[in-house]
Amino acid sequence: MSKPDVIIVGGGVISCAIAYYLAKAKVKVMVLEKEEIGDGGSSRNGGGVRQSARDPREIPIAMYAINNLWPTLSEELGVDIEYHKKGNLRLGKTEEHLRVLQHNVNLGLKAGLELKMVSSAEIHELNPYVSEEVIGASYCPTDGHANPMKTTLAFYKRARELGTQFITGETVKSVILKKGKVAGVKTKENTYEAPLVILAAGMDSRVIANSVGIDIPMQKILLEALITEAQPIMFPQMLGTAAADFYGHQTDHGSFVFGGSTSLENYVSDVEGRETKSITAPYICRAILGYFPCLSKVNIIRTWAGFIDESADHVPVLSKVDEVPGLVLTCGFSGHGFGISPAIGLLISELIIKDKPSLSLEAFKYDRFKPKG
């Protein structure tokens, strides 16, 4: 195979989406992945396709994805990615919770999002299984969820069919420069040449960018979730809470995917392995049963853990690098990259092909992080 036009480092949903939209535009792409396709945050993922409760900078991208890309994605990729646009309920149990929710609603409305507070009666209309303890919620009817594993692998399958060269088992160590411009990447054992390199490798993006003197303040945070046995279909909404103690949804399969944070995640983030902690699943179960007591007899059949690549201001870096012509960064998705992944794929492909994406990416520049002062 001749030299690719673009090398993408990392084989997750962001990378596969970019590869797909580039390949569709007849760009020759090579993807280098150190493990398997979608083995990081792409398959360790709650599957939310949300606009609500996002940073205002991200909302236009999320809205674009939901209005233009998600609804036809299954058809386009030839795989059912289980997308459902049935709303997001963020539940509250106390007056303090309602204040938090109202604040999010105000931010969302300002960004042009369809979002409102709903009463206990309205919640039970939408979801009769919610505990009586819940006194209010925010509701975004155009939010939803999809299957992150199938979405990732569907983008992979289609990009591969369109000629993208995927190589797994290749750990990229550094970016190669020639006369100050990107010339390719070096892996443990090989060298691959291309005039353009996209780093979409989660936390590894930081280390690889360091090889050419670029540093993005980001850290890895452990995220855990649990999966139940299949249940009859009960409700279609994506769920979250003002207390941020759990989130999740019921999948097409009938199983529930529930995630949650104990607030101790920051202190276990140095471990190499993605291991579930003994305290987390019990905590998530207590949180869920506090909102859905009817699920108490439902069996948990599996738990998992994965890493979030969290940037210092909790939104991603989507940017060319001025000092290193030919280098593009797409990292720091901070745990909410999946819902916007199709739009990121499209926008980055446009950034590369015509230097002018359909939505401005100015708010996501790599050099926006400054010391306090």
Partner 1 sequence: MNKITDRTFTGEEFVSHRDDSVIICRCEEISKGEIRRAVYDGMRTMSEVKRYVRAGMGLCQGQTCSRLVKNIIAKELGLKPGEVEIPTPRSPARPVSMEIYANDGMKK
> What's the rounded Cα separation, in Å, for the pair 293 and 222?
27
Nearest approach, Cβ of residue 279 and partner 1 (Å):
6
| Residues 210-229: x where in contact with partner 1 by CB under 8 A, - otherwise, as a string | ------------------xx
Q: Nearer to partner 1 by C-beta: 57 or 173? A: 173
Contact by Cβ (8 Å): 174, 211: yes
16: amino acid identity, one letter: C
Nearest approach, Cβ of residue 278 and partner 1 (Å):
7
* Chosen residue from 126, 183, 207, 298 binding partner 1 by CB under 8 A: 298
* Chosen residue from 12, 38, 248, 339 binding partner 1 by CB under 8 A: 38
Reduced to 3 states (helix: H, G, I; strand: E, B; else coil), residue 65 is: helix
218: amino acid identity, one letter: M
Residue 98, CA distances (Å) to 90, 102, 264, 332 in order: 10, 6, 25, 30
Q: Does 6 bind partner 1 (CB under 8 A)?
A: no
Q: Does 370 bind partner 1 (CB under 8 A)?
A: no
DSSP 205: H
* Chosen residue from 6, 149, 340, 348 binding partner 1 by CB under 8 A: 149
319: amino acid identity, one letter: S
Residues 40-99 that bind partner 1 (CB under 8 A): 43
> What's the rounded Cα separation, in Å, for the pair 7 and 175?
11
Q: Does 28 bind partner 1 (CB under 8 A)?
A: no
Q: Nearer to partner 1 by C-beta: 23 or 113? A: 23
Q: Does 268 bind partner 1 (CB under 8 A)?
A: no
Q: Nearer to partner 1 by C-beta: 26 or 302? A: 302
Q: Nearer to partner 1 by C-beta: 25 or 177? A: 25
Reduced to 3 states (helix: H, G, I; strand: E, B; else coil), residue 157 is: helix
> What's the rounded Cα separation, in Å, for the pair 85 and 284?
25
Q: Does 302 bind partner 1 (CB under 8 A)?
A: yes
> What's the rounded Cα separation, in Å, for the pair 340 and 357?
15
* Chosen residue from 89, 113, 216, 281 binding partner 1 by CB under 8 A: 281
Q: Does 267 bind partner 1 (CB under 8 A)?
A: no
| Residues 172-211: x where in contact with partner 1 by CB under 8 A, - otherwise, as a string | -----------------xx---------------------
Radius of gyration for the alpha carbons in the chain, expressed in angstroms and rounded: 21
> What's the rounded Cα separation, in Å, for the pair 310 and 334?
4
Cβ contacts of 63 within 8 Å, gap of 6 or more: 51, 112, 113
Give the interface with partner 1 as residue ranges (CB under 8 A). Answer: 1, 34-39, 43, 149-150, 152-153, 156-157, 160-161, 163, 165-170, 189-190, 228-229, 253, 276, 278-279, 281-282, 285-286, 288-289, 295-304
